[in-house]
Chains A and B, each alone.
Chain A
Amino acid sequence: AQSVTQPDIHITVSEGASLELRCNYSYGATPYLFWYVQSPGQGLQLLLKYFSGDTLVQGIKGFEAEFKRSQSSFNLRKPSVHWSDAAEYFCAVGPYSSASKIIFGSGTRLSIRP
């Protein structure tokens, strides 16, 4: 079955510390992977996506993610978090051209400690 697992429901990090949010997927075909961020009371915004090529993907707001096929993972990282990064983060996987098959993880809520 196709699925996306975000094992951490809630993470708290100190401002200025590094961040890594975990995402594992199970997908039968070539995975196309995404990270979205949802600020409180807002819709989702795309941070970055991986289609092919370089396994280290750069996104907006200083985020990056690394695709590791052998580990079925697509972890999101940021070297130094800011208070404004407090939000919920969703990993997603989908096929290239099917509108109905993008699967979202359950999300990781990030809190920032001053």
Chain B
Amino acid sequence: DAGITQSPRHKVTETGTPVTLRCHQTENHRYMYWYRQDPGHGLRLIHYSYGVKDTDKGEVSDGYSVSRSKTEDFLLTLESATSSQTSVYFCAISEEPGARDEQFFGPGTRLTVL
């Protein structure tokens, strides 16, 4: 199994509070991704990174920011959480972008915003 961990695995927070989710990899892969998974929507890309300090927006980036100061860590921040951000969040990694390479997924973080 690819070495990807996510923390926390579960979090309950209140509307308006900041939340940071962490993805940590031990594979030294260049690309890292944050997805959210919601019933009926499959996975939707929030942000991705193609190197240290290099990030870009995905399909559903509003309300989220990311940072990557080290190859192994990719942080997802909800500056002011809203109930619509209740979801399961998955981190993924790959050596190459797009379909050129398999994406390996972490175990997910279940976030509930009350």
A interface list, Cβ under 8 A from B = 4, 6, 32, 34, 41-46, 49, 51, 90, 94-102, 104-107
Within the complex, which residue of B42, B56, B94, B102 is in contact with A100, where a contact is CB–CB below 8 Å? B56
On B, residues with C-beta under 8 Å from A are 4, 31, 33, 40-45, 48, 50, 56-59, 90, 92, 94, 96-100, 102-108
Cα–Cα, bound, A45→B105 (Å):
7
Interface contact A104-B42, CB-CB below 8 Å: yes
A44 touches B43 (CB 8 A): yes
Residue of B nearest to A34 (CB): B99
Neighbour of A43 across the interface among B41, B90, B98, B99, CB < 8 A = B90
In the bound complex, CA of A104 to CA of B41 (Å): 8
**What is the interface of chain A mostly: helix, strand, loop, or mixed?**
loop
Closest approach, in angstroms, between the C-beta of B107 and any C-beta of chain A? 5
Task: Give the distance to chain A from B69, nearest Cβ to Cβ, in Å.
Answer: 19
CB–CB B97/A97 < 8 A = yes
In angstroms, Cα B88 to Cα A44, docked, is 12
In angstroms, how far is the closest chain A Cβ from the Cβ of B103? Answer: 7
Select A104's contact among B43, B56, B102, B107, beta carbons within 8 Å. Answer: B43
The minimal Cβ–Cβ distance linking B88 to chain A, given in whole angstroms, is: 10
